[in-house]
Structure 1
Amino acid sequence: MIRAARKQLAFFERYLTLWVTLCMAVGLACGKMLPSVVHSLRGWELGESSQINLPIAILIWLMITPMMMKVDFGAVRDVGRRPAALVVTLIVNWLVKPFSMAFLTWFFFRFVFSSFIAPAEADQYIAGCIILAAAPCTAMVFVWSHLTDGDPAYTLVQVAVNDLLMLVLFVPIVQYLVTGASSLTIPFAVLLDSVLVFIVIPLAAGAVLRRLLIRKRGRDWFEMEQLPRFAPLTMTALLATLVLLFAFQADNITARWFHVLLIAVPITLQVYLNSSLAYGLMRLLRVNYSIAAPGALIGASNFFELAVATAIALFGPESGAALATVVGVLVEVPVMLSVCAVCNQTRHWFPTPLER
Structure 2
Amino acid sequence: MTHTGHSPAAAPVVARLSRLDRFLPLWIALAMGVGLLAGRGIPGLGDVLDAVHVDGISLPIALGLLVMMYPVLAKVRYDRLDEVTGDRRLLWSSLVLNWVLGPALMFALAWLFLPDLPEYRTGLIIVGLARCIAMVIIWNDLACGDREAAAVLVALNSMFQVVAFGILGWFYLQVLPGWLGLEQTGLDVNALQIAKSVVIFLGIPLLAGYLTRRLGEKAKGRAWYEGKFLPRIGPAALYGLLFTIVILFALQGDQITSRPLDVARIALPLLVYFAIMWAGSFLLGRGLGMSYERTTTLAFTAAGNNFELAIAVAIATFGISSGQALAGVVGPLIEVPVLVALVYAALYARRRFRAPT
Q: If the length of structure 1 is used for normalisation, what is the TM-score?
A: 0.79
Which residue of structure 2 aligns with residue 164 of structure 1? 155
- 1:98 and 1:188 map into 2 onto residues whose CA distance is 18
What amino acid maps onto 1:44 in structure 2? V
Conserved? CA contact 1:38–1:247, under 8 Å:
yes
Which residue of structure 2 aligns with residue 150 of structure 1? none
Which residue of structure 2 aligns with residue 42 of structure 1? 50
Alpha carbons of 1:139 and 1:290: their partners in 2 closer, same or farther (altered >3 Å)?
A: same
Determine which of 197, 206, 209 is the counterpart of 1:206: 209
Determine which of 53, 57, 73 is the counterpart of 2:78: 73
Alpha carbons of 1:7 and 1:326: their partners in 2 closer, same or farther (altered >3 Å)?
A: same
Q: Is 1:258 aligned to 2:261, yes or no?
A: yes
Instruction: Name the count of aligned residue pairs.
Output: 327
What amino acid maps onto 2:308 in structure 1? A
Structural RMSD (CA): 3.0
Which residue of structure 1 aligns with residue 181 of structure 2? none
Conserved? CA contact 2:134–2:201, under 8 Å:
no
Q: If the length of structure 2 is used for normalisation, what is the TM-score?
A: 0.79
- 2:297 and 2:192 map into 1 onto residues whose CA distance is 32
What amino acid maps onto 1:51 in structure 2? G
Alpha carbons of 1:270 and 1:248: their partners in 2 closer, same or farther (altered >3 Å)?
A: same
SS in structure 2 of the partner of residue 141 of structure 1: helix
1:25-64 matches, within 5 Å, as: 25-46=33-54, 50-64=55-69
Which residue of structure 1 aligns with residue 138 of structure 2? 139
Alpha carbons of 1:4 and 1:92: their partners in 2 closer, same or farther (altered >3 Å)?
A: same
Shift, 1:247, TM fit: 1.2
- 1:135 and 1:239 map into 2 onto residues whose CA distance is 14
Determine which of 326, 334, 351 is the counterpart of 1:327: 334
Shift, 1:168, TM fit: 1.0
What amino acid maps onto 1:161 in structure 2? V
What amino acid maps onto 2:82 in structure 1? R
Alpha carbons of 1:251 and 1:159: their partners in 2 closer, same or farther (altered >3 Å)?
A: same
SS in structure 1 of the partner of residue 136 of structure 2: coil
Conserved? CA contact 2:65–2:240, under 8 Å:
yes
Flag structure 1 segments of 5+ consecutive residues without an equivalent. Answer: 147-154
Q: Is 1:91 aligned to 2:90, yes or no?
A: no
Q: Is 1:308 aligned to 2:314, yes or no?
A: no
1:281-296 matches, within 5 Å, as: 281-285=284-288, 287=289, 289-290=291-292, 293-296=295-298
Conserved? CA contact 2:64–2:244, under 8 Å:
yes
- 1:163 and 1:23 map into 2 onto residues whose CA distance is 26
Conserved? CA contact 2:292–2:355, under 8 Å:
no
Which residue of structure 1 aligns with residue 11 of structure 2? 5
What amino acid maps onto 2:10 in structure 1? A
Which residue of structure 1 aligns with residue 227 of structure 2? 224
Conserved? CA contact 1:69–1:209, under 8 Å:
yes
Conserved? CA contact 1:128–1:325, under 8 Å:
no
- 1:259 and 1:217 map into 2 onto residues whose CA distance is 54
Flag structure 2 segments of 5+ consecutive residues without an equivalent. Answer: 1-8, 174-184
Conserved? CA contact 1:167–1:200, under 8 Å:
no
